[in-house]
A and B are shown apart, each in its own frame.
Chain A
Amino acid sequence: GQNIDQPTEMTATEGAIVQINCTYQTSGFNGLFWYQQHAGEAPTFLSYNVLDGLEEKGRFSSFLSRSKGYSYLLLKELQMKDSASYLCAVRAADSGAGSYQLTFGKGTKLSVIP
């Protein structure tokens, strides 16, 4: 099976930087995704890492260490609209079906305060 852990809630100040951590245990690892989900809406894709290192995309960066089973999402210059849940998801091979399966963590609810 797979196990994905991320903090339940975080609070940060507008304009600041926040780091959301995600740890995972899985076999057949094939990539890690971060999605943003505003309340009552669908998840939207933020970033994808399959190799170790940092991927930067504007105010958002994501880091992966496969040997440690660890990733983080870094949000810079926080804005009020960044208040949302952030979902870490691991893609792994489903050896039985010969396909890949995406498993999500429970999400981290980020509140940005003035």
Chain B
Amino acid sequence: ETGVTQSPTHLIKTRGQQVTLRCSSQSGHNTVSWYQQALGQGPQFIFQYYREEENGRGNFPPRFSGLQFPNYSSELNVNALELDDSALYLCASSPTAVDTQYFGPGTRLTVL
């Protein structure tokens, strides 16, 4: 157990809808990173938040957006869902932006 929690566990949406995924970081961690993991692939970096500011972004379109709150929990929002957005979404927290990242259990998103 890493102390990182995510909700919901599973989610089913249809194309064009919007979704919000949530992550609570481990106590004492001020950095949260989000990843998308398609079946049979490694996690792909979406973005990172450090002390409520976006601190780096991967190659994902603007319809992927996020927030980090004063308690360092975080949200990932995806607008205009596409079939290819079906994946496991992982968040990882770390004590600072340059420390080892510890992953939550993930949210399995299915887009129909």
Asked, given contacts A33-B100, A41-B105, A45-B100, whether A101 binds B45 with beta carbons under 8 Å apart, the answer is: yes
The stretch of A12-20, A63-71, A72-80, A104-112 that contacts the partner chain: A104-112
Within 8 A of B (CB), among A88-111: 89, 91, 94, 97, 99-107
Chain B residues, Cβ within 8 Å of A91: 98
For chain A, which range describes its interface: under 10, 10 to 19, 20 to 34, or 35 or more residues?
Answer: 20 to 34
Chain B min CB distance to A63 (Å):
18
Is A100 in contact with B105, judged by CB distance below 8 angstroms?
no
Q: Does A44 sit within 8 A of B, measured CB to CB?
A: yes
Chain A min CB distance to B23 (Å):
11
CA distance A103 to B58 in the complex (A): 9
The stretch of B35-43, B62-70, B79-87 that contacts the partner chain: B35-43
Q: Does B7 sit within 8 A of A, measured CB to CB?
A: no
Is A104 in contact with B42, judged by CB distance below 8 angstroms?
yes
Find the A residue at minimum CB distance from B102: A45
Find the B residue at minimum CB distance from A103: B45
Is B45 in contact with A99, judged by CB distance below 8 angstroms?
no
CA distance A91 to B104 in the complex (A): 19
Is A99 in contact with B48, judged by CB distance below 8 angstroms?
yes
Is A101 in contact with B42, judged by CB distance below 8 angstroms?
no
Is A101 in contact with B105, judged by CB distance below 8 angstroms?
no
Chain B residues, Cβ within 8 Å of A106: 40-42
Mark each residue of chain B from 79 to 108: 1 if its CB lies under 8 Å from any CB of chain A, else 0: 000000000001000000110111111100
Asked, given contacts A33-B100, A99-B50, whether A94 binds B43 with beta carbons under 8 Å apart, the answer is: no
**Which residues on B are within 8 Å of A, measured CB to CB?**
2, 33, 35, 40-45, 48, 50, 55-58, 90, 97-98, 100-106
- 19 new A-B pairs (CB below 8 Å) besides A35-B103, A42-B105, A99-B97? A33-B100, A41-B106, A43-B43, A44-B2, A44-B103, A45-B101, A87-B43, A94-B56, A97-B55, A97-B56, A99-B48, A99-B55, A100-B56, A100-B97, A101-B45, A102-B101, A104-B43, A105-B42, A107-B41
